[in-house]
């Protein structure tokens, strides 16, 4: 009887975690249906504005991109909890194999692309990969992809820039400031510009590739609609309005623009984060100082 109650509780927890993955998407559909204005034909628009509050400096705006980002984070959290629910040391399940595979791949990326000092960086990179990938794939459900909004991706780039600066200053502000004068002092202005150009380039690269794919998909769909009308428009009844050329072709293009490109940009963003952070860390100087402190003690 006790085992049955444990099994029932385990299954109930699984159901709740599955709902945690699904319900945020449903909530996104509901919000989109409530706030989307009536329009005719195909239109290219930005994120919907759900809330706008007047503020002294700048109005506080809650957009579809911000809300969908939180919905993706909730769904990804539910997926992680579902994969790790009921993990045991000896009894392995299919979801446990998947969870272990994800952890191994994330740790493998860190070992291949970062210094040994960053062995604990795997959870951060895995979270960044998941958030970026699922945010781009959200367009497959008909919702606005948060990666199509520059503000969202810029926030990730600023976080990466903060990490780069933090690890550059591991050996103190003096070493950090001296790094701008390397290899020769007169290049300091260019090095300073390059420092601040890093988050800008990361943000615009990710945002531009995702947004351009969405725009191209919409333009092609509109063109195919016009082609269908030109070919079948002279026929009577519903046949003249049938979107013949929009069947199948947009779906095939979506495999590249929504799936492949979204996953590729997530991988590139994570790789750049690893390379920039690892490259910013003065490992030799840090090891020398650490050895000197150890010798003094």
The 10s digit of each residue's pLDDT in 156-176 is 999 999 998 888 888 778 877
**For residues 94 and 118, is the Cβ–Cβ distance under 8 A?**
no
Which pLDDT belongs to residue 88?
Answer: 78
**110 has a pLDDT exceeding 70:** yes
- Extents of the domains making up the chain: 2-296
Distances 75 to 60, 62, 97, 276 between C-alpha atoms, Å: 26, 20, 20, 29
Mean pLDDT of 132-154: 89
- Helix, strand, or coil here: 89? coil
The whole-angstrom separation of Cα 104 and Cα 102 is 6
The whole-angstrom separation of Cα 145 and Cα 72 is 10
Provide the 10 A C-beta neighbour count for residue 241.
11
CA atoms within 13 A on the CB side of 266: 22
The 10s digit of each residue's pLDDT in 267-281 is 999 999 999 888 888
Distances 55 to 9, 49, 58, 59, 62 between C-alpha atoms, Å: 48, 16, 5, 5, 13
| 73 band by pLDDT with thresholds 50, 70 and 90 | very high
Distances 281 to 78, 105, 175, 208 between C-alpha atoms, Å: 34, 23, 11, 29
The whole-angstrom separation of Cα 72 and Cα 78 is 10
């Amino acid at each position: 009887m006790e085992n049955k109650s444990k099994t029932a509780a385990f299954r109930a927890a699984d159901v709740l975690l599955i709902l945690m993955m699904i319900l945020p998407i449903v909530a996104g559909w509901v919000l989109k249906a409530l706030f989307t204005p009536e329009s005719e034909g195909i239109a290219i628009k930005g994120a919907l504005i759900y809330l706008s509050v007047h503020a002294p400096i700048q109005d506080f705006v809650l957009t579809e991109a911000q809300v969908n980002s939180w919905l993706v984070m909730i769904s990804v959290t539910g997926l992680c909890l579902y994969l790790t629910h009921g993990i045991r040391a000896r009894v392995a399940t299919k979801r446990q194999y998947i969870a272990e595979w994800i952890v191994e791949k994330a740790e493998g990326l860190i070992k291949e692309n970062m210094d040994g000092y960053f062995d604990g960086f795997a959870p951060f990179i895995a979270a960044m990969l998941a958030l970026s990938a699922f945010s781009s794939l959200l367009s497959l459900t008909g919702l606005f992809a948060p990666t199509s909004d520059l503000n969202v991706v810029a926030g990730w780039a600023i976080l990466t820039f903060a990490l780069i600066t933090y690890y550059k200053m591991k050996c103190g502000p003096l070493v950090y400031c001296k790094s701008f004068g390397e290899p020769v002092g007169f290049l300091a202005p260019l090095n300073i510009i390059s420092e601040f150009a890093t988050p800008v380039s990361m943000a615009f690269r990710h945002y531009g590739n995702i947004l351009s794919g969405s725009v191209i998909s919409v333009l092609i769909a509109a063109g195919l609609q016009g082609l269908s009308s030109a070919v079948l428009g002279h026929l009577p009844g519903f046949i003249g309005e049938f979107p013949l050329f929009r069947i199948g072709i947009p779906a095939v293009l979506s495999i590249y623009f929504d799936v492949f490109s979204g996953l590729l940009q997530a991988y590139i963003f994570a790789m750049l984060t690893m390379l920039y952070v690892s490259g910013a860390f003065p490992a030799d100087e840090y090891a020398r100082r650490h050895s000197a402190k150890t010798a003094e003690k």
